[in-house]
Structure 1
Amino acid sequence: MPHVLVNGPASWNTLVRVAALPDARPQTLFASGHRDALGGTSAGKALTLARLGVDVTLRTALGDDDAGDRIRAALSQPGLDLVADPLPGASERHLNLMADDGGRLSVYLDLPPEPGPAPASVQAALARADAVVLDLAGHSRELLPVVRAAGVPLWCDVHDDDGRAPFQREFAEAADVLVVSADRLDDVEGYLDRHVARGARWAVCTRGRDGALALGRDEGWWTVSAVPVTAVDSNGAGDGFTAGLLAAALRGLPLPDALRHAAAAGALTVASAELSAPGISLGAVEELARAAVVTQRV
Structure 2
Amino acid sequence: MDVFVIGGVGVDTIVRVPELPLPDRETIPVAPIESYVGHTGHGVALGCHRLGLDAAIADVIGDDDEGDRIRWTYQRLGIPFTSVVTPCGTRRSVNLVSPDGRRVSLYDPRRPQYDGFKVHPDLWRPDLTRTRHVHVSIMDFARQALPDLAMADCSMSTDLHDWDGVDDYHRDFATAADVVFVSAQALPDDAIGWIFTHGRAQAVVAMAGADGSYLHVATEKPVHIPPVEIPDRPVVDTNGAGDAYVAAFLATWLDGRSWREAAEAGSIAGAWACGSHGTHTDLITAEQLMTLILKELSTD
Deviation at 1:80, TM superposition (A): 1.8
Q: Is contact 1:43–1:75 with CA below 8 Å preserved after alignment?
A: no
* Aligned residue number for residue 263 of structure 1: 267
* Aligned residue number for residue 227 of structure 1: 228
Query: Aligned AA for 2:81?
Result: L
Aligned Cα root-mean-square deviation (Å): 2.4
* Higher mean C-alpha displacement, 47-56 vs 193-202: 193-202
In the TM superposition, what are the counterparts of 1:138-287 in structure 2 within 5 Å? 138-187=140-189, 190-198=190-198, 199-217=200-218, 219-229=220-230, 230-278=234-282, 280-287=284-291
Q: Is contact 2:273–2:283 with CA below 8 Å preserved after alignment?
A: no
* Higher mean C-alpha displacement, 55-64 vs 155-164: 55-64
Distance 2:109 2:144 in 1: 22
| Per-residue CA distance 1:26-78 (angstroms, 9 max, x = gap) | 75433244211122110111111111111122011221111111122233355
Paired residues, what number? 290
Q: Is contact 1:65–1:90 with CA below 8 Å preserved after alignment?
A: yes
**Alpha-carbon spacing, 1:33–1:79, altered in 2? closer, same or farther (3 Å):** closer
Query: Aligned AA for 1:250?
Result: L
3-state SS of paired residue (1:162) = coil
Distance 1:221 1:131 in 2: 24
Deviation at 1:170, TM superposition (A): 1.6
* Aligned residue number for residue 71 of structure 2: 72
**Which stretches in structure 2 are left out of the alignment for 5+ residues?**
none
Query: Aligned AA for 2:131?
Result: A
Q: Is contact 1:47–1:77 with CA below 8 Å preserved after alignment?
A: no
Distance 2:216 2:228 in 1: 20
Deviation at 1:191, TM superposition (A): 2.5
Q: Is contact 1:51–1:281 with CA below 8 Å preserved after alignment?
A: yes
Deviation at 1:131, TM superposition (A): 1.0
Deviation at 1:186, TM superposition (A): 3.3
Deviation at 1:7, TM superposition (A): 0.8
3-state SS of paired residue (2:194) = helix
Distance 2:273 2:103 in 1: 15
2:136 to 134, 158, 162: 134
**Which stretches in structure 1 are left out of the alignment for 5+ residues?**
294-298
| Per-residue CA distance 1:113-136 (angstroms, 9 max, x = gap) | 656434536212111111111111
3-state SS of paired residue (2:124) = helix
Q: Percent identity?
A: 31
Q: Is contact 1:260–1:292 with CA below 8 Å preserved after alignment?
A: no
TM-score computed with the length of structure 2 as normaliser: 0.87
Distance 1:26 1:277 in 2: 31
* Higher mean C-alpha displacement, 159-168 vs 32-41: 32-41
**Alpha-carbon spacing, 1:109–1:201, altered in 2? closer, same or farther (3 Å):** closer
Query: Aligned AA for 2:47?
Result: T
**Alpha-carbon spacing, 1:139–1:279, altered in 2? closer, same or farther (3 Å):** closer
Deviation at 1:207, TM superposition (A): 0.7
Deviation at 1:232, TM superposition (A): 2.2
Deviation at 1:220, TM superposition (A): 3.6
| Per-residue CA distance 1:5-29 (angstroms, 9 max, x = gap) | 1011211121101122336977543
Deviation at 1:109, TM superposition (A): 4.8
